[in-house]
Amino acid sequence: MSALDARHGIGVSPGTAVGPVVQVRPPVRPPALEPASTDPAASGQLVRQILESVAATLDDRAARVDAAAQQILAATAMMARDPGLSAAVDKHLASGRGPATAVDAATEEYCAIFIAAGGYLAERVTDLRDVRDRAVARLLGLEDPGVPELTEPAVIVAHDLAPAETAGLRRDLVLAIVTESGGPTSHTAILAAQMGIPAVVQLPHAVAIGDGTVLAVDGSTGEVFVDPDPATRAELVQRSERRAKALGTTSGPAATSDGHPVALLANIGTAQDAERAGALDVEGVGLFRTEFLFLDRETAPSLEEQVAVYTRVFEAFGTRRGVVRTLDAGADKPLAFADLGHEENPALGMRGLRLSAERPDLLDTQLTALATAARATGSDVRVMAPMVATAEEAAWFARRVHENGLPTVGVMIEVPAAALRARHVLAEVDFASIGTNDLAQYTLAADRTQGELATLLDPWQPALLDLVAAACGGGRDAGKPIGVCGEAAADPLLALVLTGLGVNSLSMAATRVPAVRAALSLHDLPTCAAMAEAARAARSPQDARDAVLGLAHRLMTDLV
């Protein structure tokens, strides 16, 4: 297939890759009206066989992983073989349920007991549900759901991937990620960029591509080539080389060509991210999404556990700054231990700082852990709150941070109200960082997890840029620094616009820093200001992009 036959999605994590497809199958639920088993004893026997086959698969996997993973898989296999589980299935079969429904009901009973027991057992609920999902799929004659165990490098293709699934992917074997759904600012896209895996979302009919089909993926342009011919493969390699060349040889603290400094920082979510990013040429951490540490936890992490992980993160950055965001739970990042129950509109509900106000115990434990780790490492730790809407909330958070012995406090500006009233919000704290992902979601009234709304969520939306300008104006009035840590910061062309609007730090997946640094080095501050003006004067995101590209250095076409 030639370059003309590319399919188009949205590139969300740069880089190119060629490899065979491995499809991720979604979990299947038992049929809604599954008929009662006509022979409960025979069905019970069948379920035992299926559970044994699931246990055997897990044993098989255990033989090929490291010691820690081995223990978990062995424990999960034991749960599949637990006679108590089969006996609970028998009970549901006898009461008139079909086999898949009986497995589901029996597993959920066990999960409830595990959750009530708390601690280690509660942490096993995810594994137990994995056993259930495999058993239900096998009973229905389907393939196991989830990310298959990879033995060879592959391009992972899915309808969508949950952030927890993405976090569990093996970086050494996943060449690229392609999803049919998912938005460019979804947490899956963010994680892929952080892990340095090329990724494309919103690829039409991606799930219909057969396992083993070879794909060539360009995570910058969003192009995907099915069964690429040698010429297409060669073109992809050339693209990578051109981009690498355009990155030039800039290093160290970033600045525009006339010397205006812009701190380039890393977004991280785990200690491993910190260790990877800490080894790179970045000025520190601009956003540590602490909730990423605990996505699969059923119980709240202890103080000691948090001190240990924060210490590891701060050590990776030495004396460089470390901006830590307190838990941003809720909406698309639910944390089981911070669940406040069903909400009609979770993105507009008790998420972020609002949840911390409801559960101050969680916030205080986290702040104590951060203060302890900061003291132990002597790091420049700055703490910021997610989802701040008002100056009162900013003041409440600042008080709590100071009470816990942390000197530097900031807020995220991701709610339009906070952007419009940034002067008052910033009067309460030391700095702000604009979360353009949520700010776009709330400005355009478009759910960021809904890939079909990607056009509205485009960070080039002039309305979004107007709000960034308003926030920067508030920062200037209050005499406080303001950064951007949403995905907008990682677009080299848009980074110039943000700089022109008055932003003084940009935080992104560490792998994106070289391109943004190169872009800044090619332009002076007055040009960035002119670009900002042109973008805000435009009528649409595309017009804004075109207008800015018209003012940009010719090498920018290879950087974007």
Report, as residue numbers or ranges, the catalytic residues: 187, 485
CB-nearest residue to ligand PEP: 435
Taking the C-alpha atoms of residue 406 and residue 387, their distance in angstroms, rounded to an integer, is: 20
Q: Which stretch binds ligand PEP (CB under 6 A): 120-128, 173-181, 271-279, 431-439?
A: 431-439
Chosen residue from 202, 436, 499, 511 binding ligand PEP by CB under 6 A: 436
Give which of ligand PEP, Mg ion, none residue 436 binds (C-beta under 5 to 8 Å, depending on kind).
ligand PEP
Whichever of 194 and 404 has its CB closer to ligand PEP, that residue is: 194
437 belongs to the binding site for ligand PEP (CB under 6 A): yes
Our CB check for ligand PEP shows the closer of 76 and 179 to be 179
Nearest CA among 148, 135, 141 for reference residue 52: 135
Q: What are phi and psi of 203, to 5 degrees?
A: -90, 115
**Partner whose footprint covers residue 483, from Mg ion, ligand PEP, none (CB < 5 to 8 Å by kind):** none
The three-point CA angle 97-98-100 to 5° equals: 120
Options 131-139, 195-203, 431-439, 544-552: segment touching Mg ion (CB under 5 A) = 431-439
**435 near Mg ion (CB under 5 A):** yes
Q: Tell me which residues in 328-347 interact with ligand PEP (CB under 6 A).
A: 328
| Nearer CB in complex with Mg ion: 163/435 | 435
Q: What is the largest CA-CA distance in the chain?
A: 81
Applying CB under 5 A, does 414 fall inside the site for Mg ion? yes
Residue 499 structure tokens: 């700089």
3-state helix/strand/coil string of 199-234: EEECCCCHHHCCCCCEEEEECCCCEEEECCCHHHHH
Contacting ligand PEP within 269-288 (CB under 6 A): 287
Residues ≥6 apart with Cβ < 8 Å to 339: none
**DSSP for 444-484?**
TT--TT-GGGTTTT-TT-HHHHHHHHHHHHHHHHHT--EEE
In the complex with ligand PEP, the residue whose CB is nearer, 131 or 313, is 313
Helices (H), 118-200: 119-123, 125-139, 163-167, 187-195
Dist CA 134 CA 60 (whole Å): 15
Q: Is 438 in the site for Mg ion (CB under 5 A)?
A: yes
Query: Angle at the Cα of 351 (from 346 to 355), degrees rounded to 5?
Result: 130
Report the site for ligand PEP in 470-529 (rule: CB under 6 A).
Answer: 485-486
Q: How far is the CB of 189 from Mg ion (least distance, A)?
A: 13
Q: Does 165 contact ligand PEP by CB under 6 A?
A: no
Q: Which partner in ligand PEP, Mg ion, none is near 491 (CB below 5 to 8 A by kind)?
A: none
Give the span between the Cα atoms of 421 and 470, in whole angstroms.
8
CB 168 within 8 A of CB 160: no
Candidate ranges 7-15, 129-137, 339-347, 429-437; the one touching ligand PEP (CB under 6 A): 429-437
Q: How far apart are CA 336 and CA 190, in angstroms?
A: 21
Total residues in contact with ligand PEP, by rule CB under 6 A:
11
Q: Is 223 in the site for Mg ion (CB under 5 A)?
A: no
User: Which of 7, 276, 289, 480 lies at the binding interface for ligand PEP (CB under 6 A)?
Assistant: 289
Count the site residues for Mg ion by CB under 5 A. 3
What are the angstrom distances between the C-alpha of 216 and each of 1, 136, 158?
10, 34, 16
Q: Is 438 in the site for ligand PEP (CB under 6 A)?
A: yes
Contacting residues toward Mg ion, per CB under 5 A:
414, 435, 438
Contacting residues toward ligand PEP, per CB under 6 A:
190, 287, 289, 328, 414, 435-438, 485-486
